Structure 1
Amino acid sequence: MAVSHKGDILVENILTSKTKALKINLNKNIYGTFSEIGAGQETVRHFFRAGGSSGTIAKAMSAYDKDFSDAIYGIEDDKRYVTESRLKKMLRHEIQLIESRLNRHKHPDKMYFSYANTVATIDFAKQFKGHGWVGIHFQLSPHEQHNEIVLHLRFKQTDATLQQETLGRLGVNLIYGAFYHNDNPKDLISSLYDNIEIDEIEIDMINFSGPRFTYVDNRLMSLQLVKNGMTNAVMFNDSGKNLLPAQELYKKNILALRGRFRPVTKVNMDLYEESQKLFFADKRVDQNRTRTIFEITLSNLKNEGEINERDFLDRADLLCSLGQIVMITNFQEYYKLVEYFGEFTNEQIGFAMGADSIMNIFDIKYYHNLKGSILEGVGKLFSHNLKIYLHPILDDADNTIIDSNNLKLNHRVKELYAYFKTSHKIIDITNYRIEHMKIQAPDVFKKIRTNEKGWEAMLPEGIAETIKFKGLFGYKK
């Protein structure tokens, strides 16, 4: 047994890597191959050392040389090796070899698997910490179709040897989880950090597929990564497939809209459509290299202190029905979000928001955790290539329009705000509909649950029909 940290929680009675490897080795029906590229044969090493590996390991290989790797698995279109496509070719090539080379009649009870990883560890200059793809293709019954778990990791350690050792432990955890935690994917995800500290690696994408995982919604698996502190941001597309943020955002222009979207309303779509027009009007923005993201923070998913997974999926279904990319983050402060985007791109970044949000940004209380207070926070926010597209709001007191010209700010920050406004970092959305600005999502949500008349007219085209058809947000006929 061992002790491990998961987030801020001390977890006891975690099986050691050796114990997990030995249990796999002693299961006479588990049999497969290991193919590891880029960081040594760190995973299979655990199985060799645990003992009893002859009944588990069919083959262990490491096609380090690029020409040999290409000869075995083929050449990638982009000529890269540390990719999801490469990993899947490795997994499927190796499982096909097992199936073709072994006689099923001779091994009727064997459950075949192929484990693979393709990684790049830290470079000599220690500027690029490294990342990698890890996966397993496996059976849980001899005559069943194969299942697959694929994940992406980013190394946090600054020593190549330590990264290799961590990768080995992660591989053992994944293989053990595939065979012994497959009935509970949430536990499987949590177990990936057994004997691994949370500050050693980041897992920022995971996808489950196959007959044993037909019930798994991979968007919920993404949510688990953020909830468990394994990563700060995850993405999925309109078909519900999890995406790798680094891949999707690399050298892209980014327009982000933050909200609860419970549900998405006409004012949300006004903000989206008008901000996008202004964003694309910028000569530096290439529409073909732009990602528009609907972002929901973890705190905005919490109702009464807990995250309701059904409620999360309801919001996701609506945004996906509009063809949008959704991002879930743990960045409550906007400057942290823009810093995150800055890891992947130096192109134009745009935030679309209401006037109430920018008043929070220029509120000193928003930066109580920073030594430099608001100056540091706002400096970080605008240090990247950022513009804010501001949608006005209605003042509840006197029904007047509040935009960038009459924000209610503390006198201590007015000059700071004026600097960024005159620098054309804050741009007003002037094409707005006052009648839509009166729509409040909490009121719409309440009307949906009670089936009060009129809520349909407050939502974008097609959204009401989706809510009714799927019974979202507690809607009942």
Structure 2
Amino acid sequence: MSSVLKKDFAFENIPSTKAKTLRINLNPDIYGTFAEIGAGQETARHFFRSGGASGTIAKAMSAYDKDFSDAIYGVENDGRYVTQARLKTMLSHEMGLMEERISREKHPERLFFSYANTVATIDFAKKYKGHGWVGIRFQLDPDQKEFDEIIMHVRFKQNEARLQQETLGILGVNLIYGAFYKYHKPRKLLKYLYDHIDKDTVEIDMINFSGPNFEKVDNRLISLQLIKNDMTDAVMFGPDGNNLLPAAVLYKKNILALRGSYRPVTKVNMDMFEKSHNIFMNEQTVNPDKTIVIFEITLANLKASGEIDEQDFMDRAELLCSLGHTVMISKFQEYFRLVEYFSNYTKAKIGLTMGVNNLVEVFDEKYYRHLSGGILEAFGKLFFKDLKVYLYPMKNEETGQIMTSNNVKVHPRMKELYKFFKYNGKVMDIFDYDPEILHIFSRDVLKKITNGDKDWEKMLPEGIAEIIKRKELFVRKADKK
């Protein structure tokens, strides 16, 4: 690693935007290219204006015309240019040129980087606020064979293109600065992205770290930081553990969502999924090729025991990912807010799989007192879309009675409202459930695991118990010692 970089670690104060660019410009080893499409040369401009840019900038460019852009980076088959794929192509192309054109013999200490963004700012009608992909490919050692990379997606909240451009410029500076000087503290790097930027002006709803210097970074935990730091309202990650852009995953899709604690995932959870999934796929308007299943956990659930236990979160994520599922963490404690979020990206069918106890809570007025229109406002947002609730039964522990949509007990004031939605086909019972597993609850399984009981394994889906035992999941740290 460059000796200059090592010395720079001594400075821990958060500098101004100009100070950041000047510090990079005066570092004789950092050298790279800027490729910015869609919002102007906003990041490069900061480096040019601070002075000494000739020691940092090999090239700055912006191919606004699509034909020029295609000639440089190739044609996008889907015709879209503000995408992660386009950003990666830009980063790869520009870094390739750096390696090809800058002699290593002449510059053995140079640390190459390629910064790029592809952005659509707010339109003239102010209907679409604007969004973009921003990323950097870089090295921290001149002998580094594999490059490090940070890629993120942003959504603008400002109502003027000029303001969005300014925000993008500062964000780019913060990213480049963080890549070289805060890479060893990715969580702090995440927070520093908002240096001199108000969180109300831009949302970061996805970020991924990759490369040799980020081998120990779990991108699922990084996703959790986005939620904890109020950078976004919801994050998603796939079975491979990499973060996904919710908008891209949900766009024009039929969505089946299952909310739970999954602490741990049980046979009941899987029975709920499988049975509701079968019903959902047989719905007349549902195209299986345009359908996504989301296992959702609320931030409130993660905080149920106080502060978020990150190891507990990772244990849950580990099991759901091992089963091949896409996971979403959200701030949406009320179901109507979850549906409202989905509706931002799709007009297709939405299914919510829930247990009887969850349905009772949906019809509890206390959750809607903060709304001026109360429960009616919430239900207008929840049920007016092409939405259906798939209801999994519950066994009354005292009476042994099976509770379904026909005998569920809601508050007397809510009975007529409940009947209206039920008899209009918004609530559908799951009838082909497994009656032998209705006694299983995640909380009971967790107690058995932590207490060292032996009969919890048969309550879980095949292979899950083996993963829990092998990786010692859901075991208190004190018990592991």
Q: Which residue number corresponds to residue 232 of structure 1?
A: 233
CA contact (8 A) 1:296 1:327 kept: yes
2:249 partner amino acid: E
Give distance in 2, aligned partners of 1:147 and 1:432: 48
SS in structure 1 of the partner of residue 412 of structure 2 = coil
1:251 partner amino acid: K
Q: Which residue number corresponds to residue 75 of structure 1?
A: 75
Q: Which residue number corresponds to residue 112 of structure 1?
A: 112
Question: Is residue 280 of structure 2 the alignment partner of residue 272 of structure 1?
Answer: no
Q: Which residue number corresponds to residue 66 of structure 1?
A: 66
The Cα of 1:399 is off from its aligned counterpart by 2.1
Q: Which residue number corresponds to residue 197 of structure 1?
A: 198
Give distance in 1, aligned partners of 2:89 and 2:281: 38
Q: Which residue number corresponds to residue 88 of structure 1?
A: 88
Give distance in 2, aligned partners of 1:394 and 1:374: 27
Identity of aligned residues (%): 62
After superposition, the C-alpha distances for 1:190-238 in whole angstroms (9 at most, x for unaligned) are: 1111111111111111111111001111111111111111111111111
Unpaired runs of at least 5, structure 1 = 1-12
After superposition, the C-alpha distances for 1:229-281 in whole angstroms (9 at most, x for unaligned) are: 11111111111121111111111000000001000011111111111111112
The Cα of 1:442 is off from its aligned counterpart by 1.2
CA contact (8 A) 1:37 1:63 kept: yes
Q: Which 4+ stretches in 1 moved above 2 angstroms?
A: none
After superposition, the C-alpha distances for 1:15-51 in whole angstroms (9 at most, x for unaligned) are: 2211111111111111111000000000011111111
The Cα of 1:126 is off from its aligned counterpart by 0.9
Give distance in 1, aligned partners of 2:134 and 2:413: 51
SS in structure 2 of the partner of residue 472 of structure 1 = coil
After superposition, the C-alpha distances for 1:310-340 in whole angstroms (9 at most, x for unaligned) are: 1111111111111111111111111111000
SS in structure 1 of the partner of residue 352 of structure 2 = strand
After superposition, the C-alpha distances for 1:137-159 in whole angstroms (9 at most, x for unaligned) are: 00111111310000011111111
CA contact (8 A) 1:236 1:325 kept: yes
Q: Which residue number corresponds to residue 163 of structure 1?
A: 164
Give distance in 2, aligned partners of 1:387 and 1:268: 18
SS in structure 2 of the partner of residue 127 of structure 1 = coil
Give distance in 1, aligned partners of 2:14 and 2:344: 34
The Cα of 1:450 is off from its aligned counterpart by 2.5
Q: Which residue number corresponds to residue 333 of structure 2?
A: 332
Q: Which residue number corresponds to residue 100 of structure 2?
A: 100
SS in structure 2 of the partner of residue 306 of structure 1 = coil
Give distance in 2, aligned partners of 1:19 and 1:75: 38
Unpaired runs of at least 5, structure 2 = 1-12
RMSD in angstroms over aligned alpha carbons? 1.4
Q: Which residue number corresponds to residue 122 of structure 1?
A: 122
Give distance in 1, aligned partners of 2:101 and 2:249: 39
Q: How many residues align?
A: 466
The Cα of 1:304 is off from its aligned counterpart by 2.7
Matches within 5 A, 1:404-419: 404-419=405-420
2:420 partner amino acid: Y
SS in structure 1 of the partner of residue 104 of structure 2 = coil
SS in structure 1 of the partner of residue 165 of structure 2 = helix
Which deviates the most, 355-364 or 437-446?
437-446
Give distance in 1, aligned partners of 2:411 and 2:14: 52
2:372 partner amino acid: K
Give distance in 2, aligned partners of 1:393 and 1:14: 54
Give distance in 1, aligned partners of 2:171 and 2:458: 50
CA contact (8 A) 1:14 1:195 kept: no
SS in structure 2 of the partner of residue 225 of structure 1 = helix
Give distance in 2, aligned partners of 1:94 and 1:281: 47
Q: Which residue number corresponds to residue 8 of structure 1?
A: none
Question: Is residue 394 of structure 2 the alignment partner of residue 377 of structure 1?
Answer: no
Q: Which residue number corresponds to residue 33 of structure 1?
A: 33
Change (3 A) 1:197 1:235: same
SS in structure 1 of the partner of residue 413 of structure 2 = coil
CA contact (8 A) 1:155 1:202 kept: yes
Matches within 5 A, 1:223-372: 223-372=224-373
Give distance in 2, aligned partners of 1:79 and 1:380: 33
Which deviates the most, 98-107 or 254-263?
98-107
SS in structure 2 of the partner of residue 357 of structure 1 = helix
Q: Which residue number corresponds to residue 213 of structure 1?
A: 214
